[in-house]
Amino acid sequence: MKIKNMRDFRTWFKNLKPYRENNQFIDEHFLGVFDENTKKTGFFGIYHGEKENIANFLMDGLKNAQDGQAIYEFIQNAADCNSTYFAIFYNENYFLALNNGLPFSQKDINSILNANQSSKTDNTGQAVDCGKIGRFGIGFKLVHRLVGENDGMTELTKDYKGPIVFSWSAKNHIEDLQKFQPENSLEYSENAPYLFKILITNFPAMPNESVKNIDYQDQILFENKELNEFVNYFQSIQNQLDFQLLNQGSMFFLKLGKNKKNLLDEQYQSLISGVRGGLNNLKTLQTVNIQNTKIDKLPLNLIEFNIDNKEIIKPEDEFCPIKMSFGYLSDYKKGIDELRASPNFYKYFPMGKENHGLNFTFHSTAFRIKTDRTQLEEDTNSTNTSIFQVFWKYFEPKLQEIRQTNPQEFKNIYANLLVSKPLLDENGNKKWFYDSFYLPLLNILKNNIPTKNNQFSDNAQNVKIKNFNIDIDLNEIGLGYIQWFEWDNHKEDKELLIQVREKEKIGLKIWDFSDLILNCNIVKMNDFLLKTYNNNIDLYSKIITELNELTEYQLTANNYQLFNQFAQLNFFHYFQDDSKYASSFSHCIQKNIIILESNYSNFSDILSKLGFLVSTQNIDANLSAIGKILTEKTPYIKDKLKFYEMIESKIKIYSNKLTNEEKKYLFETLKNIRGVGIETLKNITLPYYFLGFFKFFFEIKKEKTNFEF
């Protein structure tokens, strides 16, 4: 099999600077920084300058990172190479990642070996590689953590472990690898693939090549045994690959350090979640497989902005425009499941420790992040603060545009903002974060409250959460200034309704039917009730049902405030001179319009003949709380003797209008009133009626509008 000659690459790199060319004190085939005996500078020294201790130099980038972070570096590399396909396989001993992106050039190899130092401009000062993640020095060297038990430092600098790289530009290159056998020889060719091992994060060594180790001793540091392990593992998983997609690409193989497989397994779910979200920021990658499981991109809706870097304070990259994106799911409930428990802030990939319970993702290419790559740098009036400020500067007008052109999508975004948890408490914990990011979010929530019929309000005091099941035109009852909050399904939207009621957010109040009664205009409500009673009996029935569902606590709170309001509303009706009239409870009591208990409902016609005005509505203390209170507040029901006294005064005048059957029924009814009895009734003149004991049943057909409380 033919491969490129990496000795030529090392010499090419050395000669990039004229002062290094033909310099006998520079040995590009020496791994280290500097050899005291020969006074020669090695390849590491060429790249990184004079460093007394290689391990100490590498420590900063490796010690604080997480092993799972290395996976993102492989994906980053795939994205920078314009890959459409990426896959990872690993077991207890080995790890392999591959992509079908553009094969590595000398410049790409240089970038991988020099991971912490990226060139952002060309020799004319123009920005280069603005579309590549690697320009930020994200740190391919993080993958070297995987070769060791902890940070991999001992294994890298003492045992010379490191990843093997294979990058091919033609289909026959990977076919040769598929067929490679241990006994096959290697030849060098310019048109061949790259095959090398990276030592101490930046020295490219070929198989079976003798180089100078850190101590300037000759040693083969990429033995045939390692090459065979790579080839064998690749061949063992090749039946899981689609070679039609692999006409070009790059492959990375390494022997896993102790316990690294377990650590990768532990981080698997968070890794999958991070990859799903991160794929939204990697435009070319279409297919990602991890352990032969396809990882689908999280179907986020993205609102994206390209920002001039001059708008940001101290941008990390001064030469490329800054990209920002806000990602969300249209169904906020899916967002709760998919996003709220995951990291919310991305620099292409999620920062694992930036999980704030937000129902959206926020990505910026300009974030300054800590060396462990899992969290934002603490920042007051600097880069990250200015990123947030600039984001809201562009995001708010965009939201207003969406609100005008697509109200439903605006409400989708609003719901996601609303159910997001506050970033911080009120005690100044990360105050810069709260002030620069969360306060603008709160302002959007407070100034754009969605209400019914695609309306919006900036006055939370006049927006209420509806908690009853009938539709009433609020204008008709004097509440036209009130708007109903868009969401009112207290089961399906429970979480959202909890959040909108939080004082720290919007502080909306729930209004049930009692609040409608309590706050309505009496005159307008009575007009509405009369119209509804006459024209929409179904709606009127629903209103009565709502009244009957009011609790005793609601009705009696604040010294019977709600009941007293109800008592002024015309929920009672009576006939007079063949005309029907509406009346309130208070009016009925004042004018002696009789309201009967339901068990006396058959008494209605008799009382009418005796000259009483009688409500067509009955009350029942056992039916509802309002029925109980009406019973207590009606003098002649609370005290039945008063009921008797009222009737007694009428019988002497109107008894001749009653039939014998009605007189019998009247007698039977009155004699059962406690404190009345037969002796008392002897004083009432009931012609043709004889005393006796028998059961009598009398029934009067009720109207359909004879509602009960």
Residue 297, amino acid? K
Average pLDDT over residues 142-148: 75
**Helix (H/G/I), strand (E/B), else coil: 353:** coil
- Give residue 65's pLDDT: 58
Please say whether the beta carbons of 657 and 610 come within 8 A.
yes
CA 591 to chain centre: 60
Name which of 244, 218, 174 is nearest 2 in CA terms: 174
Domain range 2-295, CATH architecture: 2-Layer Sandwich (3.30)
- Give residue 663's pLDDT: 85
Q: What mean pLDDT value characterizes the chain?
A: 87
Average pLDDT over residues 341-362: 92
Residue 456, burial from CB neighbour count under 10 angstroms (0-12, 13-18, 19+): middle
Q: Please give the Cα distance from 39 to 35 (Å, whole number).
A: 5
Residue 250, burial from CB neighbour count under 10 angstroms (0-12, 13-18, 19+): buried
Average pLDDT over residues 231-254: 95
Pairing outcome for strands 40-41 and 210-212: unpaired
pLDDT at 303 over 90: yes
Q: Express each pLDDT in 170-212 by its tens digit.
A: 999 999 999 998 788 899 999 999 999 999 989 999 999 999 9
Please say whether the beta carbons of 376 and 364 come within 8 A.
no
Phi/psi at 703 (nearest 5 deg)? -75, 160
For residues 398, 404, 408, 411, the Cα torsion angle rounded to the nearest 10 degrees is 50
The label of the residue with tokens 């004879």 reads: 706
CB within 8 Å of 268: residues ≥ 6 apart: 290
Which of 57-66, 139-148, 275-284, 407-416 is the most confident on average?
Answer: 407-416
pTM above 0.95, yes or no: no
Q: Please give the Cα distance from 349 to 285 (Å, whole number).
A: 14
pLDDT at 551 over 90: yes
Average pLDDT over residues 357-386: 89
- Encoded tokens for 150: 């902890």
Q: Please provide the DSSP assignment of 234-272 as one string.
A: HHHHGGGS-GGG-SSEEEEEEEPPTTHHHHHHHTHHHHH
> Domain extents for the chain?
2-295, 301-447, 449-511, 523-681
CA 612 to chain centre: 64
Name which of 231, 169, 221, 175 is nearest 199 in CA terms: 221
Q: Please give the Cα distance from 502 to 580 (Å, whole number).
A: 48
- Give residue 687's pLDDT: 41
131 falls in which pLDDT band (50, 70, 90)? Answer: low
- Give residue 706's pLDDT: 58
User: Given CA atoms 226, 230, 231, 233 in this order, what sign does their dihedral have?
Assistant: positive
Lowest mean pLDDT: which of 62-66, 154-158, 161-165, 517-521?
62-66
CB within 8 Å of 683: residues ≥ 6 apart: none
Lowest mean pLDDT: which of 148-162, 430-444, 575-589?
148-162
End-to-end CA distance of the chain: 94
436 DSSP assignment: I
pLDDT at 561 over 80: yes
Percent helix, strand and coil across the chain, each to the nearest 5:
45, 15, 40
Name which of 95, 111, 129 is nearest 202 in CA terms: 111
Q: How far is CA 72 from CA 65, 288, 349, 503, 635, in A?
A: 12, 12, 7, 40, 80
**Percentage of residues in the chain with pLDDT exceeding 90?**
62
- Give residue 64's pLDDT: 54
pLDDT at 521 over 80: yes
User: Given CA atoms 34, 35, 40, 44 in this order, what sign does their dihedral have?
Assistant: negative
- Give residue 427's pLDDT: 58
- Give residue 220's pLDDT: 97
- Give residue 422's pLDDT: 81
Q: Please give the Cα distance from 703 to 605 (Å, whole number).
A: 12
CB within 8 Å of 67: residues ≥ 6 apart: 145, 146, 260, 263, 264, 267
User: How many CB atoms are located within 10 Å of the residue 656 CB?
Assistant: 10
User: How many CB atoms are located within 10 Å of the residue 506 CB?
Assistant: 17
pLDDT at 120 over 70: no
- Give residue 284's pLDDT: 86
